[in-house]
């Protein structure tokens, strides 16, 4: 599409806007009707620890959004010579979970408590037992129940409880709604009804019945909407809040606000059953779309949904490539000391590819990548650790392969619950993140860990802001009966996937042997935590 065609799309109000509030960056992406990014802007921001609560000031929410939007509009003006006055559709996304309660007059009752807080352990444990459903500490319902257990004065005044994405959407449209994926991080969803689980709502209301509150849980939660549903329009006040210059007109339709998990699924075309995506960088998480609910509660597995309500199992691990990166950096220092110059890409590529020459048993080497605790294996703290026996075959290839395996070991342990105990079927995984930058290596190791074909996106991915923009486009352009899965596969991602790497049985057997040794050696890591005090 040429510059004149894009200019016409912007002038005619056909461009779609997606904005996502990440933990350190707010990003806006403007796309054309085919889903191609045509302009963007971003704004850096940081959470603050106030009275031992991780929070963001709501003034920063609006200042950041306005700056982000202004930069995107300036980018469009610079590229195409046209001012942005109308939008064809808008979508907002944000980091999931957290706690933002309001009274009946719309006054915020306490500062925003983000997903990062770990102050709801008592509530999380009690609700998991009561609902027979894993309720992580970061979920909104855990924050609410902890506030009740703490006897906080604001709780009786609550008339509306929402998330950051829901709050921004409400302020711009007047609609108290959430997309189902975002709602699934507030309270459990029944994928048969695509709404909050009625039985669990009743269990919660019974749990707090003796408190005397004059609200029921459903009354204070946002209404649940599906991808493709209309979720209101940009009001005049909302348009001025988004664009204080006054250039942006009101009236644009908005799609349901979604969480970063849902927009990540959309951005990697991983919304259909038996598909999933893995993000592997500093931390690693896998999200797999299920064909049916799991048979029992697993505290290692978070249950959320796609933007169309399908159940999704998430395995999240705190540690992935940090220890691996530290070793690569060390080898880089050695190269410099030898008078050699190697850029990061060459270092990583050389060392990662060397791992493919390793012995099947990694030379009997063992590594733990725990920079921090890891709930999958029961560690509240971590110590990076490398161990070998006098008989171990200590070669560079074995060393690198052991550390690549270690980067995915905790994920593998969590995934075994899904693949072995729950017999979840997965046809393909989409990989993204730093682990996959060296072509063929990270994919091959991940395929071995999951015993599933792994593809890596050719489109470097614009991330969640692009994902929510696509959801806005789906709402605007949806054909009769067209599913989100079909829209993404046929109209957005057709022909855009890179090479898919299938698992090799020898690699699968090698990884399984490493995991057996890794699991047996966990007491070594435990001893390191106990003996190497911080």
Same domain for 268 and 163, yes or no, is no
Domain count, the chain: 2
Same domain for 235 and 315, yes or no, is no
The last residue of one of the domains, among 220, 242, 258, is: 258
Same domain for 209 and 278, yes or no, is no
Three-point CA angle 495, 440, 269, nearest 5°:
35
281 band by pLDDT with thresholds 50, 70 and 90: confident
pLDDT at 169: 98
- Statement: residue 460 has pLDDT above 50: no
The last residue of one of the domains, among 258, 276, 303, is: 258
For residue range 67-117, list pLDDT tens digits in order. Answer: 999 999 999 999 999 999 999 999 999 999 999 999 999 999 999 999 888
Question: How does strand 497-501 pair with strand 454-457?
Answer: antiparallel
Tell me, what DSSP letter sits at residue 162? E
Same domain for 360 and 266, yes or no, is yes
Nearest Cα to 64, choosing from 85, 89, 92?
Answer: 92
Same domain for 274 and 246, yes or no, is no
Per the structure, the complete domain to which residue 253 belongs is given by: 3-258
Average pLDDT estimate for 480-507? 90
Same domain for 21 and 154, yes or no, is yes
Residue 450's CATH number? 3.30.420.40
pLDDT at 458: 61
- Statement: residue 399 has pLDDT above 70: yes
497 band by pLDDT with thresholds 50, 70 and 90: low
Same domain for 205 and 285, yes or no, is no
Q: In angstroms, how far is CA 257 from the centroid of its own chain?
A: 15
Same domain for 499 and 533, yes or no, is yes
**Phi and psi (nearest 5°) for 7?**
-60, -45
Laid out side by side, the sheet with 258-259 consists of: 37-44, 25-31, 16-21, 89-94, 258-259
CB-count burial class (<10 Å; 0-12, 13-18, 19+) for 464: buried
Give one DSSP letter per residue of 365-381, joined into a string: -EEE--SS-BGGGTBSS
- Statement: residue 462 has pLDDT above 70: no
In the numeric block, the tokens 């942005």 are attached to: 84
Distance between CA 117 and CA 446 in Å, rounded? 30
529 band by pLDDT with thresholds 50, 70 and 90: very high
- Measured CA to CA in angstroms, residue 106 lies from 82, 102, 221, 332, 400 at distances of 37, 5, 14, 55, 55
For residue range 323-364, list pLDDT tens digits in order. Answer: 999 999 999 999 999 999 888 889 999 999 999 999 999 999
What does the chain come to in residues?
A: 534
- Record the tokens describing residue 444, joined without a space: 């091959």
Same domain for 308 and 457, yes or no, is yes
pTM of the predicted model, to two decimals? 0.86
SS3 assignment, position 501:
strand
Distance between CA 492 and CA 500 in Å, rounded? 18
The last residue of one of the domains, among 230, 258, 286, is: 258
């Amino acid at each position: 599409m040429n510059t004149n065609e894009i200019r016409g799309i912007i002038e005619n109000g056909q461009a779609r806007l997606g904005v996502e509030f990440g933990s350190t960056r707010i990003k806006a992406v403007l796309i054309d009707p085919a889903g191609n990014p045509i302009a963007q802007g971003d704004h850096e921001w940081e959470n603050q620890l106030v009275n031992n609560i991780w929070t963001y000031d709501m003034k920063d929410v609006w200042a950041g959004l306005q700056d982000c939007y202004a930069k995107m509009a300036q980018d469009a003006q610079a590229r195409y010579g046209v001012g942005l006055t109308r939008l064809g559709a808008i979508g907002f996304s944000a980091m999931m979970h957290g706690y933002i309660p309001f009274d009946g007059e719309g006054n915020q009752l306490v500062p925003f408590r983000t997903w990062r807080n770990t102050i709801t352990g008592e509530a999380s444990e009690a609700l998991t037992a009561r609902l027979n459903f894993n309720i992580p500490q970061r979920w909104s319902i855990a924050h609410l129940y902890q506030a009740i257990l703490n006897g906080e004065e604001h709780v009786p005044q609550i008339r509306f409880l929402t998330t950051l994405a829901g709050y921004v959407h409400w302020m711009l449209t007047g609609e108290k709604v959430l997309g189902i994926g975002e709602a699934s991080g507030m309270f459990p969803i029944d994928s048969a009804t695509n709404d909050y689980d009625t039985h669990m709502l009743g269990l919660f209301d019974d749990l707090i019945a003796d408190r005397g509150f004059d609200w029921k849980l459903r009354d204070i939660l946002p209404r649940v909407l599906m991808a493709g549903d209309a979720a209101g329009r940009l009001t005049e006040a909302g348009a001025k809040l988004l664009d204080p210059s006054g250039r942006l007109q009101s009236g644009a339709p908005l799609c349901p606000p979604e969480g970063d998990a849902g927009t990540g699924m959309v951005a990697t075309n991983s919304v259909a059953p038996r598909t999933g995506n893995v993000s592997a960088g500093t931390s690693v998480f896998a999200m797999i779309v299920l064909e049916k609910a799991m048979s029992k509660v697993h505290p290692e597995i978070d249950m959320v949904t796609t933007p169309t309500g399908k159940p999704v199992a998430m395995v999240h691990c705190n540690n992935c490539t940090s220890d691996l990166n530290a070793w690569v950096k060390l080898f880089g220092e050695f190269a410099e000391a030898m008078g050699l110059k190697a850029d990061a890409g060459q270092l990583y590529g050389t060392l990662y590819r060397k791992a493919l020459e390793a012995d099947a048993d990694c030379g009997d080497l063992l590594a733990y990548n725990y920079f921090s605790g890891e709930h999958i294996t029961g560690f509240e703290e971590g110590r990076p650790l490398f161990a070998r026996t006098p008989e171990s075959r200590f070669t560079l290839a074995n060393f690198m392969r052991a550390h690549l395996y270690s980067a995915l070991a905790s994920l593998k342990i969590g995934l075994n619950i899904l693949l072995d105990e729950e017999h979840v079927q997965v046809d393909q995984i989409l990989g993204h993140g730093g682990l996959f930058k060296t072509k063929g290596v990270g994919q091959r190791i991940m395929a071995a860990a999951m015993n599933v074909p792994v593809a890596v996106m050719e489109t470097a991915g614009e991330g969640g802001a692009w994902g929510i923009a696509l959801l806005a486009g789906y709402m605007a352009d949806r054909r009769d009966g067209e599913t989100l899965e079909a829209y993404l596969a046929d109209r957005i991602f057709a022909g855009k996937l890179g090479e898919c790497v299938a698992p090799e049985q020898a690699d699968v057997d090698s990884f399984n042997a490493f995991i057996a040794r890794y699991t047996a050696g966990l007491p070594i890591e435990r001893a390191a935590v106990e003996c190497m005090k911080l």
